Structure 1
Amino acid sequence: MHLALICDCDGVLVDSETIAGATIVRELKALWPGIEIEPVVTPLLGFRTERVLEATAATLDKTLTLEEIEAIHREVRAAAILAPMVRGIDAALASIPLLKACASNSYSDYVAHTVDRTGLKRFFEGRLFTADLVANPKPEPDVYLLAATKLAISPARCLVVEDSVAGATAAVSAGMTVLGYAGGAHDPGEQALKLSSVGVEVTFNQMSDLPGLAKAWTRELGFSWPPVTAE
């Protein structure tokens, strides 16, 4: 296999970023009544929950205890575990004849459970790469470089689908081509601009567009479609 499609999990495979953001905002409002939380939290989604909480507290000149961070993290995980699939992602993946992997800022058990319960496991069997397997989470490139190494595919031949600035930054830093999914954002136009600003080459709002984008990328690299070595 000469080419790979690597997908983020939260926000690309399942519509969990909105749920996570709303949960964080709700919990912080309970701790800090009367403070506008959402505008601070929203741009941070895509980072690990702990980092979102720490950065929000720092921005608002507040503090959070370790116990409060852990409690909010538990609430986020409980809410996100039931997130539905992103509309159209299953059909899109089924029609893209490339080796597929998932590279996530979440932990192994959560990602494994997510792809299993949604029926997406068949696309990623044995190819799940998560933050607990590397030294540094996104926006560092570690998890994407790990995926390329394990897949034995050069980063230049990996096409990534990301929805967050943190994830896109990680994949671009790894030397991969990134497609930015903005369809799950509250303001897709604004999110597309943010993704483009960190090196995302193309943004899109509907998963039905993904197969065509993957086809165009494959041909730009000089491969036929479908690739002869497709899985």
Structure 2
Amino acid sequence: MLLIFDCDGVLVDSEPLACQVDADVLTNLGLPYTAEDIARQFVGKSMKDMIARIEADHACTLPGDFAERINRTLFARFETDLKPIAGVRDAILALPHPRCVASSSVPERIALSLRVTGLADLFENVFSATQVARGKPAPDLFLHAASQMGVSPEGCLVVEDSPAGVQAALAAHMRVIGFVGGGHCGPEHAETLRQAGAPVVIDRMTELSATVQALA
């Protein structure tokens, strides 16, 4: 069985930082968003899809360097403030299965996230939504990861924190565990993931090993 981990909100507690940076940059451009707005609408989705949605919703064109502005500010915050999800390293090391990362973020952000949180050595194989035509909730990224790892979709188990990610895993015909231990997850988030189709939801990484074994 192949374990496929999302990065933001599953391996690293990045979403509160990222949502605030996105909101600040958009508000400075005259498009007022709160961090809560960003979390509700865009967590789990690619930058490309977020830009397309914002431009459609506001009938506007964002600056050509919008993504660069976001990443420049966010990467600086990551260097000083980003932390791993509590217990995630031990949880991963306790599992004997092959593993990889499949994230909506750009490769540079994933690499930085894993480096500053001390998790980079756990993953030889990292996949980004920039490598496929459609981001989550489409199944493309997870199917690409499975193909590159030489595993059938039915042999994969995905760990995801976003409704889009859960939907993508199910669309790829993979099993999925919802995770709600990130700093962006409010008390309603578990039910949101269940409504997206997650058959099981955990809120601590100490629960991961037993949950994986139950689903294997």
Instruction: Render the CA deviation track for 1:27-63: whole Å, top value 9, x for unaligned.
Output: 2222338x45344322122212343344345445665
Contact 1:17/1:46 (8 A) holds in 2:
no
Contact 2:78/2:113 (8 A) holds in 1:
no
Secondary structure at the aligned position of 2:13 is classed as: coil
Contact 2:46/2:129 (8 A) holds in 1:
no
Q: Does residue 42 of the first structure (1) align with residue 75 of the second (2)?
A: no
Kindly state the Cα deviation for residue 20 of structure 1 after the two structures are TM-superposed: 0.2
* CA separation of 1:41 and 1:60: change in aligned 2, threshold 3 A: farther
Could you tell me which runs of 5 or more consecutive residues in structure 2 were left unpaired when the two chains were aligned.
none
Give the equivalent residue in structure 1 for 2:126. 128
Instruction: Render the CA deviation track for 1:98-132: whole Å, top value 9, x for unaligned.
Output: 1111111122233234323433233212x111122
Tell me, in whole angstroms, the C-alpha distance in 2 between the residues paired with 1:81 and 1:140: 31
Between structure 1 and structure 2, the one with the greater Rg is 1
Please provide the CA RMSD for this pair: 2.3
Q: Does residue 207 of the first structure (1) align with residue 205 of the second (2)?
A: yes
Give the equivalent residue in structure 1 for 2:83. 84
* CA separation of 1:67 and 1:101: change in aligned 2, threshold 3 A: closer
Instruction: Render the CA deviation track for 1:38-90: whole Å, top value 9, x for unaligned.
Output: 44322122212343344345445665332345423432343345521111100
Q: TM-score, normalised by structure 1?
A: 0.82
Tell me, in whole angstroms, the C-alpha distance in 2 between the residues paired with 1:36 and 1:148: 36
Q: Does residue 95 of the first structure (1) align with residue 94 of the second (2)?
A: yes
Tell me, in whole angstroms, the C-alpha distance in 2 between the residues paired with 1:70 and 1:108: 14
Secondary structure at the aligned position of 1:197 is classed as: helix
* CA separation of 1:111 and 1:73: change in aligned 2, threshold 3 A: closer
Give the equivalent residue in structure 2 for 1:32. 30
Q: TM-score, normalised by structure 2?
A: 0.87
Aligned residues, how many?
A: 214
Could you tell me which runs of 5 or more consecutive residues in structure 1 were left unpaired when the two chains were aligned.
219-231
Percent identity, aligned pairs only, is 35
Instruction: Render the CA deviation track for 1:156-200: whole Å, top value 9, x for unaligned.
Output: 121111111222221111111111111215443311122112211
Tell me, in whole angstroms, the C-alpha distance in 1 between the residues paired with 2:131 and 2:50: 20
